[in-house]
Structure 1
Amino acid sequence: MFNPMIRIAAVLLFSFLSLSLHAVTMEAEGSALIFNQDIDSARQAAIKNATQQASLQASAIVSSTQSINQGVLSIDNMQVSTLGMLSNIEVLDEKIQGRMLWVKVRADVDFEKGCPAGISGHGYQKSVAVTAFPLLYPQQANLGDLSNIQTELSHILSNQINQSSNLKALNAGMLNVQESAANAPTRQLSAGALTTVLGYTRQLDVQYIVSGVIRDMTMYDSSVTDPNRNFLVDLYNKIDYRSKRHLRSLALDLYIHDGFSGALLFSKQYATAGRWNLEPEARPRFASAEFWRQDYGQQTRTLINQVASDLNEELRCMPFSARITKSEDNLLWFNAGALAGIKVGDKLTVYRKSNFFTDNMRSHVQLTNTRKTMTVTEVQPMFAIGRLAEDGTIDNIQPDDVVIAW
């Protein structure tokens, strides 16, 4: 017998395949309504539906919170997430029946590329702000007049992220969130304690904040840029331009912070080197056409591409979240809309955001699951509106609280 009001957390694993396999081939059917005789849109929607079915058939985790109230079983806060990534999608058959378009697809489901614990973010577009990359030793940028790398690097990185991932990157290169480049990402609180948590995140209004520090831009051999060099040294350097003596290093640290709590989620150091063959008096500036023509510029581009790829891989399995901007009875407005992939009928879980203080009076952000599911009823490009099953004031849901899709 179940006692009333007892909540039971249940996790059901459905699988007829061994997850030790890295990839399996699945076939599944999907359908979509045809609106205004738009066959192409219906076909795309049907294929998407079919691929989702293929992934779910291969292996799915269904997690829910159940409750018994006066002998009646109710299920709220249900989440369904696939374990695998799909590739090699092939349409096997297509047919139209009335206003419905049906397709049958075959796809490879790769578990190795899937996210742990079934987290997928539901394919929504997560937002990141890429802030400045201050120089640990500013004088190292004098060679080539590259001091603008501190702000321009975020611009280049933002563009690369937007072109090669499902992240929406905002260029915040004029904002330096690292108070001390030498100690980043650590900062000291007024009470003397050290923390890796950012001091402010609210004004950026994004899910994740990317920052970093440029720690080295030196030449391997400083003699090749000696201002007191003579004609013979110049001639030798030009002949020997491919030697390691002309290598210039670039080392930077990368940090990802959570935009709601400020917590440090990821850090990594990157390093590369490329030949710098310009005259010591040359001042091409960072990201100029002359800079990219240098081997050093090409190696820098490769490093930026690697950083963008790592950011996408690291954040791909993070949950999607958005800030609640308005609440009214059982309606909630939140700051993500059609541009982020939100659709009418989508379901997101509501979390209460609060602050608490430790014994040493350090403030921390806490997100508490209300066990309430919001169903999206209206979508605009930049925001959406969702409806709760009951009045949100019961759980004191208010602006700055959060909706999350795992």
Structure 2
Amino acid sequence: MFNLMLRFITTLLFSCFCLTTQAITMEAEGRALIFNKDLDSARQAAIKSASQQASLQASAYVSSTQSINQGVLSIDNMQVSSLGMISNIKILDEKIQGRMLWLKIRADVNFEEGCAGGVEGHGYQKSVAITAFPLLYPAQANLGDLSNIQTELGNQLSNLLNQNSNLRALNAGQLSVHETAQTAPSRQLSAGALTTVLDHTRQLDVQYIVSGVIRDVSMHDPATTAVQRNILIDFYNRMDYRSKRHLRTLALDLYVHDGFSGALLFNKQYITAGRWNLSPETRTGFASAAFWQQDYGLQSQKLLQQIGNDLSDKLRCMPFSAKITRSDGQHIWFNAGALSGIKAGDKLTVYRKSSFFTEDMRSHVQLINTRKTLTVTEVQPMFAIGRLAMDGAVYNIQPDDVVMAW
């Protein structure tokens, strides 16, 4: 009976796991030139080439524009949407043919499901700025002196993301990006039209901008913390501390904007409540040790964790992009490097950035795919250099254009 139950539990856990991940075994070949008799380096390069082939063969989508030049196949632009992570690599065969090392591998390609179209950003670390969360009703924060929640919430959220996600979150808690909290994220243009697009997003130099508005931090029953009290009421409140009368709300709206175009990509409202049992005179502030000890602090922490998970899930399915900072002939500099997971040999697609105006004179940013691939040749911590097949001037590549990986 015990063995039967154990088998059932094991099967159930395996089934749940398969809902989010799956793996297939692939065989692929790779080649690499041998330089200065360095066989180990050539083998590593060949394994990397074979691993990429295995991932491509198992990927959900491969789209490329190809051309033949003197019998050599060249890829001008390659767009790969693959969730494949390579593991359990085994070399099945290996040969040296002149200066070329050839090998064949067998590997498991693990897929993580959940993104439409297979977009995964190749595992690069995307940059996010967490801005201020202004209070819609500042007087509600007087209880407990929680007015610092407007800046400290962004700090807590950025720390959470940096610890538990593949996002590089920058704390911009002192920056308020919404002109009016009451109507956020909407704002009125000079011509009278309404828009949810953020202005001046390029100054932050990040891929995504997270902002929000705190709509409510009030008590469910304001009488429990009213100043006009007496001894009997105080005694009753202390004895009745588990009652729902002591619940305090935390409600906020979250907005995620694209850092290049300012477009609103995601918005959601979050609401929680927890018991607030401190006296009206107690001033804990938000995110202090005394604050986290309260049930209200615990529920707030859970809400922040939920927000962090949602941001990780949403932005995980977004493409990786970085701004081009310099163009010189065939070489392109862009502002993402080793800290973002960029490696020599990586390939990214180049997009030209342009602006256009609608009939009502509203400005929009457009990214145009040049269908040209940039191969990374040099990587520094905060930036990288890549090479195009032809002079970048031919494609009119300029600073402020974008490189992107899907």
Shorter-normalised TM-score: what interval? 0.7 to 0.9
Normalized against structure 1, the TM-score is what?
0.84
Equivalent AA in structure 1 for residue 349 of structure 2: T
Equivalent AA in structure 2 for residue 305 of structure 1: Q
**Distance change (3 Å), C-alpha of 1:154 and 1:50:** farther
Are 1:143 and 2:149 counterparts? no
User: Which moved further from structure 2: 204-213 or 184-193?
Assistant: 184-193
User: How far off is 1:231 after superposition?
Assistant: 0.6
CA distance in 2, matches of 1:58, 1:378: 29
Aligned partner of residue 232 in structure 2, secondary structure:
helix
**Distance change (3 Å), C-alpha of 1:253 and 1:389:** same
CA distance in 1, matches of 2:69, 2:134: 57
CA distance in 1, matches of 2:110, 2:396: 45
Query: Structure 1 residue aligned with 2:111, among 109, 112, 132?
Result: 109
Percent identity between matched residues is 69
**Distance change (3 Å), C-alpha of 1:48 and 1:247:** farther
CA distance in 2, matches of 1:94, 1:234: 75
User: Which moved further from structure 2: 363-372 or 264-273?
Assistant: 363-372
2:202: which partner in 1?
A: 202
Q: CA RMSD in A?
A: 3.5
1:174: which partner in 2?
A: 174
User: How far off is 1:60 after superposition?
Assistant: 3.1
- Mapping of 1:365-376 within 5 angstroms? 365-376=365-376
Equivalent AA in structure 2 for residue 376 of structure 1: V
Are 1:359 and 2:359 counterparts? yes
**Distance change (3 Å), C-alpha of 1:274 and 1:55:** farther
- Mapping of 1:71-110 within 5 angstroms? 75-82=75-82, 84=83, 91=88, 106=108, 109-110=111-112
Are 1:257 and 2:257 counterparts? yes
- Mapping of 1:149-164 within 5 angstroms? 149-164=149-164
User: How far off is 1:52 after superposition?
Assistant: 6.1
> What are the Cα deviations for residues 183-205 of structure 1, in whole angstroms up to 9, with x where unaligned?
00001111211100001111100
CA distance in 2, matches of 1:46, 1:281: 68
**Distance change (3 Å), C-alpha of 1:366 and 1:102:** same
User: How far off is 1:51 after superposition?
Assistant: 7.4
CA distance in 2, matches of 1:205, 1:151: 20
User: How far off is 1:80 after superposition?
Assistant: 2.3
2:37: which partner in 1?
A: none
Equivalent AA in structure 1 for residue 158 of structure 2: S
Equivalent AA in structure 2 for residue 182 of structure 1: Q
**Distance change (3 Å), C-alpha of 1:323 and 1:24:** closer
**Distance change (3 Å), C-alpha of 1:200 and 1:370:** same
Equivalent AA in structure 1 for residue 228 of structure 2: N
User: How far off is 1:284 after superposition?
Assistant: 0.6
Aligned partner of residue 229 in structure 2, secondary structure:
coil
1:343: which partner in 2?
A: 343
Query: Structure 2 residue aligned with 1:27, among 25, 32, 46?
Result: 25
CA distance in 2, matches of 1:107, 1:349: 24
User: How far off is 1:69 after superposition?
Assistant: 9.6
User: Which moved further from structure 2: 22-31 or 311-320?
Assistant: 22-31
User: Which moved further from structure 2: 349-358 or 51-60?
Assistant: 51-60
Aligned partner of residue 378 in structure 1, secondary structure:
strand
1:51–1:107 CA contact under 8 A, matched in 2 = no
Aligned partner of residue 365 in structure 1, secondary structure:
strand
Q: Which structure shows the bigger proportion of residues in helix conformation? A: 2
| Gap regions ≥5 residues in structure 1 | 1-19, 34-40
User: How far off is 1:120 after superposition?
Assistant: 1.6
User: How far off is 1:59 after superposition?
Assistant: 3.8
Equivalent AA in structure 2 for residue 285 of structure 1: G
**Distance change (3 Å), C-alpha of 1:205 and 1:194:** same
> What are the Cα deviations for residues 46-67 of structure 1, in whole angstroms up to 9, with x where unaligned?
9988876665444431112356
Normalized against structure 2, the TM-score is what?
0.84
> What are the Cα deviations for residues 111-132 of structure 1, in whole angstroms up to 9, with x where unaligned?
x43x222322111100000000
**Distance change (3 Å), C-alpha of 1:50 and 1:296:** farther
1:91–1:103 CA contact under 8 A, matched in 2 = no
**Distance change (3 Å), C-alpha of 1:281 and 1:179:** same
2:299: which partner in 1?
A: 299
User: How far off is 1:45 after superposition?
Assistant: 10
1:28–1:50 CA contact under 8 A, matched in 2 = no
User: How far off is 1:27 after superposition?
Assistant: 2.7
User: Which moved further from structure 2: 344-353 or 252-261?
Assistant: 344-353
Equivalent AA in structure 2 for residue 344 of structure 1: A
- Mapping of 1:169-248 within 5 angstroms? 169-248=169-248
User: How far off is 1:43 after superposition?
Assistant: 12
CA distance in 1, matches of 2:283, 2:45: 52
CA distance in 2, matches of 1:311, 1:102: 39
1:55–1:109 CA contact under 8 A, matched in 2 = no
Are 1:273 and 2:239 counterparts? no
2:119: which partner in 1?
A: 119
2:349–2:369 CA contact under 8 A, matched in 1 = yes
> What are the Cα deviations for residues 161-192 of structure 1, in whole angstroms up to 9, with x where unaligned?
01111000000000000110000000111121
User: Which moved further from structure 2: 90-99 or 59-68?
Assistant: 90-99
2:76–2:389 CA contact under 8 A, matched in 1 = no
Aligned partner of residue 381 in structure 1, secondary structure:
coil
User: Which moved further from structure 2: 53-62 or 142-151?
Assistant: 53-62
Give the count of matched residue pairs. Answer: 377
2:220–2:247 CA contact under 8 A, matched in 1 = yes
2:397: which partner in 1?
A: 397
CA distance in 2, matches of 1:259, 1:220: 38
